Amino acid sequence: MKYIILLGDGMGDFPLKELDGKTPLEAALTPGMDFIAQHGDLGLVQTVPPGMEPGSDVANMSLLGYRPEYQYTGRGPIEAASLGLSLRPEDVAFRCNLVTIKKVDDHYIMYDYSAGHISTEEAHVLIKELNEHLSSDKLFLHPGKSYRHILVWRGGPEGIKTYPPHDLLGRDIYEAWMVYENEPILRDFLLKAMAFLEKHPINIKRREEGKNPANALWPWGQGRMPRLEPFEEKWGLNGAVVAEVDLIKGLGVLAGLRIIIVPGATGYLDTNYEGMAMAAIEALKEDIDFVFLHIEAPDEASHEGSLDLKIKAIQDFDRYVVRTVLEEATAQIGEYRLMVVTDHYTPISLRTHASRPVPFAIYDSRQPQIKRSQGYNEKDATETGLFFKTGEKLLSHFLEREPNLPEE
């Protein structure tokens, strides 16, 4: 038996007037996900424990069968694990965005959390030169992909309250910035970085081309390195992760899963959907029992506040990932169970995450009978009454086994 999870990040949403009261999942054409919902288990899962922020880090950790309320330390160290950073126990790693901050009258506004989805090539030049000018034995940067990077603070504090830049879009950053004002070492580093970035030739050129400049660093999601029990020890299955972004790869590294790199996997709407789907199939045909495939595009479109792009991202996920995996798994793999799920809501109206139970659907190749007429969306999943209060319990149901838990 093979097990496949296909996750479209941030697909959940609220009913919208522009869609006559439907959500993007209801309005989108998704025959692949609807097939799974109609032929299998359909329900809801609470991926974010009460009191925790509804981030992709917490939600995906939960869906991989871990307990964020006990094991989560921050987003930064998870992404650092993906990049192979060796951190000391006292080190704190921040996720660090290249962002665009804009002055409007007397206010400084978070104009773009991704600096126009700056290219990885441009970003690496900026991060490399920032390190050459500003790094010290206390603070240094490590390059990631596009706007997503890591800032390491040797012996830094982990208890400060930082704000994700995508939660600040269009808003005055004063209150969020005061966090850094209270940490002089970090504040001075960020102010010097702003001065350097403002005059950099890459940003001068981006302005001339009408693109958003990467004129500031924004560190957030900090923490010390967490410890996760190996996935194979916990569930008795070896596994792999197919993902575009460092966050999901980092969770895979910490869980001892194989990380499969796919050329052209960008983490945006231009990603190599089919390449990722086929990479999952090839892994399952070899020696892998379990694959976790994560697509970022719906979440990115939601943060941009673009309904058209969100529907396109959902439809592309369905057409090029879900349907490809369904067809190829049926043709090339024996018995399999396939789950489609999202990690959290990213409502277009909010442009950030929301903590709600999210829909899942599970198809079992051994039981191909039609069970219902509903499709894969928030409303239909709610109406079935099937609910799991944690990602770990859902994964146990999906894998048809109980976890091997360490003794308390």
Domain C-terminal end among 223, 258, 278: 223
* Residues 239, 245, 250: CA angle, nearest 5 degrees: 50
Q: pLDDT at position 405, please?
A: 75
Do residues 121 and 182 touch, judged by C-beta distance below 8 A?
Answer: no
Distance CA 1, CA 201 (A): 54
Residues in the chain: 408
- Strands (DSSP E) along 51-138, which ranges? 92-104, 107-112
Q: What pTM does this model have?
A: 0.89
Within a domain: 150? yes
Q: Is residue 406 part of a domain?
A: no
Considering the chain, what percentage of its residues have pLDDT values greater than 90? 97
Is the confidence at residue 408, as pLDDT, over 70? no
Q: Hey, is 237 helix, strand or coil?
A: coil
Cβ(294)–Cβ(60) below 8 Å: yes
52 and 90 housed in the same domain? no
Quickly state the pLDDT bin for 86 (edges 50, 70, 90).
confident
List C-alpha distances in Å: 291 to 283, 355, 403, 408. 8, 25, 17, 29
In a domain, residue 91? The reply is: yes
In a domain, 39, yes or no: yes
Q: 241 and 379: one domain?
A: yes
pLDDT score for 197: 98
Q: Could you tell me which of 173, 155, 151 has the C-alpha nearest to residue 164?
A: 173
Strands 258-260 and 239-242: parallel
Same domain, 307 and 380: yes
Nearest-CA neighbor of 260 among 284, 230, 226, 228?
284
pLDDT at 26: 98
What is the sign of the dihedral through the CA atoms of 259, 264, 267 and 272?
A: negative
* Rg of the chain in Å (alpha carbons): 21
The residue from 166, 190, 223 where one domain ends is 223
What are 64-84's pLDDT values in tens digits? 999 999 999 999 999 999 999
Are 179 and 40 found together in one domain? Answer: no
Q: What whole-number distance in Å separates Cα of residue 49 and Cα of residue 131?
A: 37
Rounded mean pLDDT of 123-150? 96
240 plus 377 within the same structural domain:
yes
Instruction: Report the pLDDT value the prediction gives residue 407, as an integer from 0 to 100.
Output: 56
Domain annotation covers residue 404: no
* Residues 27 and 142 grouped into a single domain: no
Q: Does one domain contain both 295 and 352? A: yes
φ and ψ of 269, to 5 deg: -70, -15
**Over 60: is that where the pLDDT of 234 sits?**
yes
- Which of 178, 204, 223 is the C-terminal boundary of a domain? 223
Is residue 140 located within the same domain as residue 281? no
Let me know: does 346 contact 13? Beta carbons within 8 Å: yes
Residue 78 lies in a domain: no
CA-wise closest residue to 265 among 99, 391, 145, 388: 145
Strand 216-223 and strand 92-104: pairing? antiparallel
Q: pLDDT category, 121, cuts 50, 70, 90?
A: very high
Give 23-54 pLDDT, tens digit per residue.
999 999 999 999 999 999 999 999 999 999 99
The mean pLDDT value for 268-283 works out to 97
Neighbouring-strand partners of residue 295: 8
Residue 406: band (very low, low, confident or very high) from pLDDT cuts 50, 70, 90: low
DSSP letters spanning 262-316: -TT--SSTTS-HHHHHHHHHHHHHTT-SEEEEEE-HHHHHHHTT-HHHHHHHHHH
Residues 48, 112, single domain; the answer is no
Same domain, 265 and 395: yes
Q: Which domain holds residue 99?
A: 83-223
Q: Measured at the alpha carbon of residue 248, what is the angle toward residues 299 and 347, in degrees to the nearest 5?
A: 20
Kindly state the tokens that stand for 111.
């104009």
First vs last C-alpha separation in the chain: 31
- pLDDT for 158 equals 79
Q: Look-up: residue for tokens 């086929």?
A: 278
Helix axes 56-63, 75-82, angle to 10 degrees: 70
- In this structure, the answer to whether residues 21 and 96 fall within a common structural domain is no
Q: What is the mean pLDDT of residues 56-61?
A: 97
For residue 77, tell me if it sits in a domain. Answer: no
pLDDT tens digits for 149-205?
A: 999 999 998 789 999 999 999 999 999 999 999 999 999 999 999 999 999 999 999
Q: Two tokens at 194?
A: 């702003």
Asked whether residue 171 falls in the same domain as residue 251, the answer is no
Tokens coding 321: 């990932």
pLDDT, tens only, 193-216: 999 999 999 999 999 999 999 999
List 216's β-bridge partners, or say none. 99
**pLDDT tens for each residue of 332-371:** 999 999 999 999 999 999 999 999 999 999 999 999 999 9
| CATH code assigned at 326 | 3.40.720.10
Domain tally for the chain?
2
